[in-house]
Amino acid sequence: MCSSFIQVDVVIQTQTKYLDLIGSIGERIAKELDNFTGDRAALAYQLNLVLTEATVNAIKHGCDNAPQNCVRVTIHLQENELNIKVFDHGQGFDLETVPLPDFEHPGESGMGLFLIRSYMDSVTYTRQSDYNVLEIIKHLK
């Protein structure tokens, strides 16, 4: 198998105690990349953060007392593209209506998606018939 190919598929219960586990996977992946020439410590932090924020988002929006009370996270790395998908079973939300944080009067919440968008190249949220998926892409150099 090519060393620049990684596929991770994790399913957790909608509990915040698993955030460390999910974030740590991103951090470890950053440390394992063979051909990455950028700031590896910064990338490790960013992947930890993005996975943490995306999973919190799915836990918050996806609970709904559904029988399938879980969050699925997939991480796919091929060549230089890192693709993260976080699936939830909640009502979903419209990504385009999420406002930027008010930097002059910062609130105690509402920065998660801003952070994800700041560090990653592409963020989309798609509603399917029985689940939603937050898809995050980063091109690694």
Q: Is 114 in the site for another protein (CB under 8 A)?
A: yes
**String of DSSP letters for 108-134:** SS--HHHHHHHHSSEEEEEE-SS-EEE
Minimum CB distance to another protein smaller for 4 or for 69: 69
CA–CA dist 105, 108 (Å, integer): 10
13: phi then psi, degrees, rounded to nearest 5: -75, 160
Q: Is 62 in the site for another protein (CB under 8 A)?
A: no
CB of 112 to another protein, least distance (A): 5
| CA–CA distances in Å: residue 107 to residues 22, 104, 114 | 26, 9, 13
Q: Is 112 in the site for another protein (CB under 8 A)?
A: yes
Stretch of 30-38, 79-87, 106-114, 125-133 lying at the interface with another protein (CB under 8 A): 106-114
Q: Is 99 in the site for another protein (CB under 8 A)?
A: no
Tokens of 23: 């974030």
Tokens of 136: 């995050």
CB of 59 to another protein, least distance (A): 8
CB of 135 to another protein, least distance (A): 20
Amino acid identity, position 112: G
CA–CA dist 34, 56 (Å, integer): 29
Q: Is 53 in the site for another protein (CB under 8 A)?
A: yes
User: Which residues would be at the binding site for another protein (CB under 8 A)?
Assistant: 16-17, 19-20, 23, 41-42, 45, 48-49, 52-53, 56, 59, 101, 103, 106-112, 114-115, 118
